[in-house]
Amino acid sequence: MREFLLKLAAAKGDIEADLLIKDAKIINVLSGEIHRESVAVYDGRFLGFGEYKAKTVFDAKGLYMSPGFIDGHIHFESTMLTLPQFSRAVLRCGTTAAVIDPHEIANVLGLDGIRYVLHSINQIPLDLFVMLPSCVPATPLETSGSSISHKELHYMIREERVVGIGEMMNFPAVINGDREVHERIAAAKWKKVDGHAPGITGTDLNAYIFSNIDSDHESTTAAEALEKLRKGMHILIREGTSERNLKDLLPIVTKENAGRFSFATDDKHPDDLLNEGHIDHCLRKSISLGMDPVTAFQMATVNTANHYRLKNVGAVKPRFWADFVLMSDYRTVEIEAVFKKGHPVFQDKKLMDFPQKEYPASAVRGAMNPGPVRPEDFKITADGKKIRVIDIMPDQVVTGEHITAAKIENSEVLPDIDRDILKIIVIERHKATGRIGKAFVRGLGLKRGAIGSTVAHDAHNIVIAGTNDEDMYAAFRRIKQLQGGMVVMDRQQAIAELPLPVGGLLSTLSFEETARKLTDLKEGVKQLGGTHPSPFMILSFLCLSPIPKLKVTDLGLIDVDRFEPVSVFVQ
């Protein structure tokens, strides 16, 4: 109580504030206006507006002041960064909080992965709020490293940093009343449940929402998002590395309904964080497309805090944490400084030194246990003249189905480079089953070589795509030697690689070095003739069995609409 009374006295102006931000133009996401004020801070919290006496005065000289930005939904593992490095990457972009779903590391390491995340959160200045992964495994159509039951979710929901249950990807099970799945949803109790409903409409969508799921980030068209909005869902507009939905969804956002929208990146690679930004990129793009700037800042801050019931973040308000961004131009989000709990973490175009500690990677068990794999296991014997090909769609994680004539030699189906049809395989890596799923894909553009990765949503088995079996097998061998990672192979030699020793998902390198190595990987893919702008991100999503239309897992080619494996061959 004594500490509270001191803060109360500071708010009244009876004792000195720690910091006064003088003469700032406040982007007030509560009143929906921009007004010129001074703002005081004490013990890391906003005291309020006014000319307080303070130990330190920071003259903003008319800079624009916004609450710190909040990412409404991100799998931090997609950045391939440990959480201390992730915080370095996004604080410089004005992000001071994020709602994370550690679904990827949980699918590999189970509760050990979630504990690793919760321990790491305590070592960093960034505020992270956790949605417990609801689908481990994501679906029964793949082999993951672990499983998490509703009993474990009921236990972990009590954690202070846990704000709900993460995206419920097994939408057929939700709609059809699967008991275990609904027990997992019920584990949320009074907290939030995130949705994942790509293309779900009509009465199926009604049933999905009736199950106490009240957000979605999978809409790819305005019509899809509008139906979900009308039925009460909070819409997270996604703008990540390979899934870019902002331009298509923005037209349905109005002054009247904007409170039901937030920004989310979902999956974002470190080089894009470095070169493009984070939620600040969402703001710039929205404003450039004609959105009212204050509305855009509300979507980047208070809307997300309100939806997830995040405590003391999302606005410049007495008692809230003093997390804020100072900008010289709010329309282009030209960031001059970022403050976290009243202390500068980014200023003069550079990150400041701030206390954080890496939770040791050695605390995470190994996660590379593939069974015996031989070069001949990669072959696909012809069982028909036509094949189903996974068709990559630009800027989307959904895929199409392309049926075409197979290229057959000596009773074996081969990649057809002239038609951009490559072989893609998934090797189970968790339980040494030796199981391999095989298919074909169009849209990567490789003319030679192969690429491979242990980042393969959601079970994160080994995925390899290539023009020939020799390079594909060499990719497998190198990934195994690295104990997880990404590789580009040419003539059985690695021309670029990124080790990911933490669960086969995370680098132990710095943010900058990880971004550089990923850039090298992309350049390596270009050397092989690759045409996709985010080859490793899209490669990972080709295994995502809850997203239509065709995907590939260790169980084979998956027709997501039918929710079952199908033959590569069309009779």
Helical axes 83-91 vs 511-527, angle rounded to 10° = 90
Amino acid of residue 368: M
> Which residues does residue 195 pair with via DSSP β-bridges, in sequence order?
168
Using one digit for the tens of pLDDT, what is the confidence trace for 493-516? Answer: 999 999 999 999 999 999 999 999
Alpha helices of 300-375 — where are they, by DSSP H?
302-308
Using one digit for the tens of pLDDT, what is the confidence trace for 92-126? Answer: 999 999 999 999 999 999 998 999 999 889 889 99
Residue 355: what pLDDT?
Answer: 64
Contact 490, 449 (CB under 8 A): yes
Closest CA to 170 of 145, 131, 134: 134
Residues 6+ apart with CB under 8 A from 491: 449, 471
Helical axes 83-91 vs 111-121, angle rounded to 10° = 50
Both tokens assigned to 127 = 């505020």
Residues written for the chain: 571
Residue 360: what pLDDT?
Answer: 66
Residue 363: what pLDDT?
Answer: 64
Residue 348: what pLDDT?
Answer: 87
Both tokens assigned to 108 = 């590999």
Closest CA to 109 of 369, 290, 379: 369
Identify the band that residue 521 occupies on the pLDDT scale cut at 50, 70 and 90.
very high
Q: Does residue 361 have a pLDDT over 70?
A: no
C-alpha to C-alpha distance for 159 and 118, rounded to whole angstroms: 9
Strand, coil or helix: 298: helix
Residue 213: what pLDDT?
Answer: 96
C-alpha to C-alpha distance for 180 and 171, rounded to whole angstroms: 13
Both tokens assigned to 348 = 């003069």
Of the chain, the end-to-end C-alpha distance in Å amounts to: 75
From the CB of residue 31, how many other CB atoms can be counted at a distance below 10 Å? 10
User: How far is residue 172 CA from its own chain's centroid?
Assistant: 23
C-alpha to C-alpha distance for 305 and 126, rounded to whole angstroms: 15
Using one digit for the tens of pLDDT, what is the confidence trace for 383-417? Answer: 999 999 999 988 788 899 999 999 999 999 999 99
227 CB-side CA count, 13 A: 18
Mean pLDDT across the chain: 94
Residue 6: what pLDDT?
Answer: 80
Superfamily of domain 69-312: Metal-dependent hydrolases (3.20.20.140)
Using one digit for the tens of pLDDT, what is the confidence trace for 309-327? Answer: 999 999 999 999 999 999 9
Place of tokens 């996401």: 29
Q: What is the DSSP letter of 417?
A: G
3-class DSSP string for 368-393: CCCCCCCHHHHCCECCCCEEEEEEEC
Using one digit for the tens of pLDDT, what is the confidence trace for 324-350? Answer: 999 999 999 999 999 999 999 999 888
Contact 138, 458 (CB under 8 A): yes
Residue 527: what pLDDT?
Answer: 97
Q: Are strands 350-351 and 399-405 parallel, antiparallel or unpaired?
A: unpaired
C-alpha to C-alpha distance for 441 and 334, rounded to whole angstroms: 41
Peptide bond into 137 cis (omega under 30): yes
User: How far is residue 136 CA from its own chain's centroid?
Assistant: 16
The ranges of the chain annotated as CATH 3.20.20.140 are 69-312
Both tokens assigned to 561 = 């609409």
- Of the two residues 135 and 238, the one the predictor is more confident about is 238
Contact 169, 139 (CB under 8 A): yes
Identify the band that residue 165 occupies on the pLDDT scale cut at 50, 70 and 90.
very high
Identify the band that residue 462 occupies on the pLDDT scale cut at 50, 70 and 90.
very high
C-alpha to C-alpha distance for 196 and 238, rounded to whole angstroms: 12
Amino acid of residue 200: I
- Of the two residues 537 and 359, the one the predictor is more confident about is 537
C-alpha to C-alpha distance for 508 and 569, rounded to whole angstroms: 42
The helix (run of H) or strand (run of E) holding residue 497 is: strand 493-499
Both tokens assigned to 564 = 């079952």
How much is the pTM? 0.91
Closest CA to 195 of 149, 227, 161: 227
C-alpha to C-alpha distance for 418 and 420, rounded to whole angstroms: 6
Largest pairwise CA distance in the chain: 88
Using one digit for the tens of pLDDT, what is the confidence trace for 18-49? Answer: 999 999 999 999 999 999 999 999 999 999 99
Identify the band that residue 547 occupies on the pLDDT scale cut at 50, 70 and 90.
confident
480 phi and psi angles, rounded to 5 deg: -65, -40
Using one digit for the tens of pLDDT, what is the confidence trace for 431-448? Answer: 999 999 999 999 999 999
Amino acid of residue 543: C
Closest CA to 325 of 64, 89, 36: 64
CA distances from 458 to 143, 176, 193, 257, 532 (A): 9, 22, 19, 33, 21
Strand, coil or helix: 83: helix
